[in-house]
Amino acid sequence: MNIAVAIDSVPQSAVPSASEAGPAPKRIVVAYGFWIFLLSDIIMFAALFASYAVLVHSTAGGPTGARLFNQSTVAIETVCLLFSSYTCGLMSLAINSRNRLGMYLGAVITFALGAAFLTLEVREFTEMIARGATPQRSAFLSAFFTLVGCHGLHVTLGLIWLMVMMVQVPVMGFVASVQHRLLCFSLFWHALDIVWVGVFTVVYLIGVSP
């Protein structure tokens, strides 16, 4: 009895630090490793941003960004991706409270908004190519299609990942490994939205501002 009281009254500062207690739980290790991957992915995007910024005026007599880009499409794409990031956050809250209905609802809305973004982007690309603005036309267009296409590819992979997770949850249940994957997915999806903020600012707004 006395011992229990004594243990209860140990001040908060006497809690052992993480280095004394051994390895961290797997959730932390997995998420931290994925965080490192995301940062390396963002560094890759930085290289693509740098090449775009360097080549943006090398149009070789071809069309410039101001003549090709449609800002209302970009605004709709931005809002789609921002809201899908929001619903992805609400989905992770539903996962933390084991709310299956909320999770499926969040996943469906996230997927629909991501798919809407991708549809608009593919339509924009096909319209540009139909007007002769292909990646082969100029260095500016090569850099544009590489940067924006790489982001679109990431969104595509994220949508496939989300579909796989929505199969794994009913099949495997809320086991720890599935929860780790869902945490990594939400990190990935938020990071893609952060990259898109850079894309719409650098490519679509600064490039065509009057």
Partner 1 sequence: MTDVRYDRAPGDTPSEEMQTGASSEALIYTIGLLVALILTATSFWVANTSLLWEGGVGLGLAVLAIAQMGIHLVFFLHLTTGPDSTNNVLALAFGLLIVFVVVVGSIWIVSDLNQNMLMPSAGPMSIGAQH
* Binding interface with partner 1 (CB under 8 A): 15-18, 21, 24-25, 27-28, 30-32, 34-36, 39-40, 42-43, 46-47, 49-51, 53-54, 71, 75, 78-79, 82-83, 85-86, 89-90, 92-94, 96-97, 183, 186-187, 190, 193-194, 197-198, 200-202, 205-206, 208-210
> If 0-12 CB within 10 Å is exposed, 13-18 middle and 19+ buried, where does residue 8 land?
exposed
Closer CB to partner 1, residue 164 or residue 206?
Answer: 206
Contacts of 195 (CB under 8 A, 6+ apart): 42, 45, 151, 154
Whole-angstrom Cα distance, residue 164 to residue 171?
Answer: 11
- Smallest gap, in angstroms, from Cβ of residue 29 to partner 1? 8
Q: Pick the closer one to partner 1 by CB: 129 or 190.
A: 190
Least gap, CB of 130 to partner 1 (angstroms): 26
Do 186 and 88 contact (CB within 8 A), yes or no? yes
Minimum gap (Å) between residue 11 Cβ and partner 1: 13
Q: Judging by beta carbons within 10 Å of its beta carbon (0-12, 13-18, 19+), is residue 191 exposed, middle or buried?
A: buried
In the complex with partner 1, the residue whose CB is nearer, 51 or 134, is 51
- Spatial separation of the C-alpha atoms in residues 50 and 99, rounded to whole Å: 43
Q: In whole angstroms, how close is the CB of 87 to partner 1 at the nearest point?
A: 9
* Buried b or exposed e, range 160-172, using 16+ CB within 10 angstroms: ebbeebeeebeee
Q: Kindly tell me which of 8 and 130 has the beta carbon lying closer to partner 1.
A: 8
Give the nearest distance from C-beta 127 to partner 1 in angstroms: 20
Comparing CB distances to partner 1, the nearer of 111 and 188 is 188
Give the integer Cα–Cα distance in Å for 77 and 204. 12
